[in-house]
Amino acid sequence: MPEPDEIAAHLSSSEQRDEILELGMWTFLSTEVLLFGGLILTYMVYRHADPQSFAEAGRQTRIVIGTINTAVLLTSSFCVAAAIQAGESGAAKAVRGLLAAAIVLGLIFLGLKGVEYLGEYRDHLVPGIDFEQSGSHAQGIRLFFMFYFVATGLHAVHLLCGVIVLAIFLRCAFQVARNARYLAGLRTAGLYWHFVDVVWIFLYALIYLPGRSG
Amino acid sequence: MSNNYLTDGYTLRSWFFTIDHKRIAILYFASLIFLFLIGGAAATMIRIELVTPQADLVSSDTYNRLFTMHGIIMVWFFLIPSIPNTLGNFIVPLMIGARDLAFPRLNLASWYLFMLGAAITLYAIFMGGIDTGWTLYTPFSTLYSNSYVAVAAAGIFVAGFSSILTGLNFIVTIHKLRAPGLTWYKLPLFIWSLYATSIILVLATPVLAITLVLLAAERIFGVGVFDPRIGGDPLLFQHLFWFYSHPAVYIMILPGMGVVNELITCYSRKKIFGYKFVAWASLAIAAAGFLVWGHHMFVSGQSLIASLVFSFMSFVVAVPSAIKVFNWTATLHKGTLRFDAPMLYALGFIGLFTMGGLTGLFLACLAFDVYATDTYFVVAHFHYIMVGGMVTAYFGGLHYWWPKITGRMYSDYWARAAAILIFLGFNLTFFPQFILGVEGMPRRYHVYPPEFQVWNALSSGGATILAAAYLLPVFYLGYSLFFGARAPANPWGATGLEWQTSSPPPKLNFDKQPVVTSPPYDYEHAPEPQNA
């Protein structure tokens, strides 16, 4: 982190600096919406074309891990939101604790995701590497698991970026009381973190829930 | 000549690690000249091959790789970045009275990403090329692919992020860095059109990115997403591809329209006719442009209802484009016209763009499109828009802002000669292709029945003139760099903020923060041109 409250030569005020940061993040998130949107659209097209296979494949996902992970991620988003609140009142210690909690929860999510991938590998559900399914739905199940790995993999990469960003903010948490720039940055990082969380909620519904009712 | 952005450091480091938007614009400019020459070389080979009906220069396979290379380089590595990343990068902060773009480091990162993408794509091309056509249609790019599709797709993917970052930077800059008093309706229309372009860059490019990811995933996992052999749907690829690539057409024309607004007003010495209509027309084009992609797929087997809707929407998107053309014409009416080189380019643009736009309406008609699909009529149509329109506007803008960018004046005589030659050469190259298309010559073939030879030979002859005309500026603009007269701050007597600072501008653009009080294009109160 640079000197507290430094303003780059091309900007005229700290308000302007904070505003461009936030607007930049919103613009970036609009790009991300379309990125995941294209993926989800493609998934929906194939699910619409072959609902039975996708239902059968959905039943083979590990819903317990998926559900725990959803709770883990929602809790991490709470921590980030609370860290921003704490930062606004200048409580550096609380900021540090809450950011650390969010990072740990993010890592737990990634760890559980790894356990899940390992399980799918053992069950021969990884297309292209080790995939064995019999029955008329095998083709559709293979397609489902390709989407599963692409979507959750892309999400995990996003989450990992988020963890790294939060770790940087954790290291500089001592600056919170005297650096308006820190807080603006943390708010912007929070937007990203919540976005990654929201993406997961969509993926959770699309991946783990088909074929579970009735 | 003391203390401008060009004299601020002479080391390689001062260029390759610069975060000055003006220097980054120059970096883009140099890269784009190089890529334009490569794309142009492919076009030259294509036109030479097509002089005779037989195959005499290249084999069918090489020909496939040539037109693919021409398309990929020209679309992604020349046209899309052309005006936004060179003229836009240089002029946008100056025009709005800012000292730089909102995120200068991101701007530099975007250039490096662009170069990385270009390097990967050029690697694919020189290792053997791609034979799918620039559209990368499946199953050409999957089932039958025996070329470097994956590598080229990776290059396009990386360059896409460069586009996204540029668009993001422009959007934030235009929202937050405007000079005091510069309200939205006082902005030069070039800014409005780049704003609309940026929205498309940010919202359409990620869809191409995810499509290319799925294309790669299909190969890695061996699962059919787009490949019909293993259960995929090739039409889905077309939908996703055109969801990006049709809006990309507007990425390739909106900035050109933006430039033309500046040129027409300056050399008519008049304010633009119907400012608000032109401004909102840019956004209307950007918005409606997202809803017309299916007109590339009229013969693909999509439902008739879908085709009807896409046909209707394609007519709708022509309305704001026509508003612009009418408003430019109305601006000329009773203006004090001056025919400097940039004005000749602008007038050429209006004529060629109108031709391209009207033939686009032919193609939006379902019945005619079925007849003309994949013929030279389509080729001629989009070249009228992209080359006749965008490249002409790019040259016009380059001539208009050249004194500002380099601080030198060029030879107006030669510049006018080049502008006229480009217009003539262009029409001779591409008008015969309309006739070829109507007579039924399909695109992407290098052998054809002998009765088409006359038109093909005319087209190739025109291409020679066009190529020579495109090379002319290399000489007189290059000459001006070293021997041209020093440019005053405002040689054309133009109104934009960029003309209020010295030529070339100082490192932080303005010695003191400009404040805007006058309406846009206030030519009643503008200074007289100094090159009269």
pLDDT in tens, A1-14: 445 567 888 888 88
Q: How far apart are CA B1 and CA A201, in angstroms?
A: 59
- The answer to whether the CB atoms of B202 and A31 lie below 8 A apart is yes
Amino acid at B137: Y
Q: Which of B136-140, B279-283, B365-369, B477-481 has the lowest mean pLDDT?
A: B136-140
Q: Which of A149-158, B43-52, B229-238, B382-391 has the lowest mean pLDDT?
A: B229-238
Q: How far apart are CA A149 and CA A161, in angstroms?
A: 18
- CA-nearest of A166, A172, A152, A169 to A194 is A166
Quick one: pLDDT at residue B405? 96
User: Is residue B229 within 8 angstroms of chain A, CB to CB?
Assistant: no
Q: How far apart are CA B399 and CA B408, in angstroms?
A: 11
Q: How far apart are CA A185 and CA A179, in angstroms?
A: 10
Q: Name residues whose C-beta falls within 8 Å of residue A15's C-beta, 6 or more positions apart in sequence.
A: none
Q: Is the pLDDT of residue B2 over 70?
A: no
- CA-nearest of B479, B489, B487, B464 to B48 is B464
Q: Which residues 60-79 of chain A have a CB within 8 Å of chain B?
A: none
Q: How confident is the model over A81-104, as a mean pLDDT?
A: 94
- The answer to whether the CB atoms of A143 and B177 lie below 8 A apart is no
Test the A interface: residue of B168, B226, B513 with most A CBs within 10 Å: B168
Dihedral over Cα of B482, B418, B258, B181: its sign = positive
User: What confidence category does residue B1 fall into, taking pLDDT thresholds of 50, 70 and 90?
Assistant: very low
Q: How confident is the model over B298-302, as a mean pLDDT?
A: 91
Tokens read off for B133: 């056509």
Q: How confident is the model over B186-209, as a mean pLDDT?
A: 97
**For residue B126, how many other CB atoms are within 10 A of its CB?**
11
Choose between A211 and B113: higher pLDDT: B113
Pair B298, B373: CB distance under 8 Å: yes
B66 to chain A, minimum CA–CA distance in Å?
Answer: 31
Written in H, E and C, the secondary structure of B230-298 is HCCCHHHHHHHHHHHHHHHHHHCCHHHHHHHHHHHHHHHCCCCCCHHHHHHHHHHHHHHHHHCHHHHCC
Instruction: Say whether A3 sits in a helix, a strand or coil.
Output: coil
User: Is residue A9 within 8 angstroms of chain B, CB to CB?
Assistant: yes
**Chain A residues touching residue B171 (CB < 8 angstroms):** 23, 27
User: What confidence category does residue B532 fall into, taking pLDDT thresholds of 50, 70 and 90?
Assistant: low
* Minimum CA–CA partner of B240 in chain A: A38
User: What confidence category does residue A167 fall into, taking pLDDT thresholds of 50, 70 and 90?
Assistant: very high
Q: H-helix or E-strand containing A125? A: strand A125-126
- CA-nearest of B416, B425, B402 to B477 is B402
User: Is residue B235 within 8 angstroms of chain A, CB to CB?
Assistant: no
Pairing assessment for the beta strands A130-131 and A125-126 based on DSSP bridges: antiparallel
**For residue A181, how many other CB atoms are within 10 A of its CB?**
19
- CA-nearest of B337, B495, B441, B455 to B47 is B455
Burial group, residue B139, by CB count within 10 angstroms (0-12, 13-18, 19+)? middle
Q: How far apart are CA B130 and CA B65, in angstroms?
A: 5
Quick one: pLDDT at residue B218? 86
User: What confidence category does residue B110 fall into, taking pLDDT thresholds of 50, 70 and 90?
Assistant: very high
Nearest to A128 among B98, B175, B222 (CB): B222
User: What confidence category does residue B501 fall into, taking pLDDT thresholds of 50, 70 and 90?
Assistant: very high
Test the B interface: residue of A150, A157, A195, A199 with most B CBs within 10 Å: A150
User: What confidence category does residue B152 fall into, taking pLDDT thresholds of 50, 70 and 90?
Assistant: very high
ipTM summary value: 0.93
Quick one: pLDDT at residue B451? 95
Q: How many C-alpha atoms does A15 have within 13 Å on its Cβ side?
A: 1
Domains of chain B in sequence order:
12-525 (1.20.210.10)
Residue with tokens 């059919």: B224
Nearest to A127 among B101, B171, B221 (CB): B221
Q: Name residues whose C-beta falls within 8 Å of residue A79's C-beta, 6 or more positions apart in sequence.
A: A98, A99, A101, A102, A105
Quick one: pLDDT at residue A1? 47
Q: How far apart are CA B357 and CA B321, in angstroms?
A: 8
Instruction: Say whether A9 sits in a helix, a strand or coil.
Output: coil
Dihedral over Cα of B432, B438, B442, B447: its sign = negative
Q: Is the pLDDT of residue B70 over 90?
A: yes
Tokens read off for B433: 């292709």
Q: How confident is the model over B157-181, as a mean pLDDT?
A: 96
User: A15-207 domain in CATH 3.50.40.10?
Assistant: no
Helices of type H across A6-91: 14-49, 51-59, 63-88
Q: Is the pLDDT of residue B212 over 80?
A: yes
- CA-nearest of B381, B390, B372, B488 to B433 is B381
- CA-nearest of A184, A28, A21 to B166 is A28
pLDDT in tens, B276-296: 999 999 999 999 999 999 999
B279 to chain A, minimum CA–CA distance in Å?
Answer: 21
Q: How confident is the model over B153-161, as a mean pLDDT?
A: 95
Q: Is the pLDDT of residue B261 over 50?
A: yes
Q: How far apart are CA B280 and CA B192, in angstroms?
A: 8
- The answer to whether the CB atoms of A45 and B236 lie below 8 A apart is yes
Q: How confident is the model over A17-33, as a mean pLDDT?
A: 96
B425: left (phi over 0), alpha (psi -120 to 50) or beta: alpha
Q: Is the pLDDT of residue B10 over 80?
A: yes
Q: What are phi and psi of B33, to 5 degrees?
A: -60, -45
Q: How confident is the model over B3-16, as a mean pLDDT?
A: 91
Q: How far apart are CA B410 and CA B53, in angstroms?
A: 42
* Minimum CA–CA partner of A150 in chain B: B217
* Residues B361-373 as b or e (16 or more Cβ within 10 Å = b): ebbbbeeebeebb
- CA-nearest of B185, B241, B180 to B211 is B241
| Bridge partner residues of A126 (DSSP) | A130
Quick one: pLDDT at residue B331? 97
Pair B199, B171: CB distance under 8 Å: yes
Q: H-helix or E-strand containing B478? A: helix B453-483
Q: How confident is the model over A141-157, as a mean pLDDT?
A: 95
Q: How far apart are CA B486 and CA B407, in angstroms?
A: 6
Quick one: pLDDT at residue B228? 85
* Residues B436-449 as b or e (16 or more Cβ within 10 Å = b): bbbeebebeebebe
- CA-nearest of B193, B202, B119, B120 to B160 is B202
- CA-nearest of A39, A1, A23, A13 to A191 is A23
Quick one: pLDDT at residue B42? 95
User: Is residue A22 within 8 angstroms of chain B, CB to CB?
Assistant: no
Q: How confident is the model over B383-389, as a mean pLDDT?
A: 96
Nearest to A35 among B102, B209, B508 (CB): B209
Quick one: pLDDT at residue B162? 96
Amino acid at B317: V
Test the A interface: residue of B92, B108, B172, B241 with most A CBs within 10 Å: B172
**Chain A residues touching residue B204 (CB < 8 angstroms):** 34
pTM of the model: 0.95
Per the prediction, chain B carries an average pLDDT of 94
Pair B416, B373: CB distance under 8 Å: no
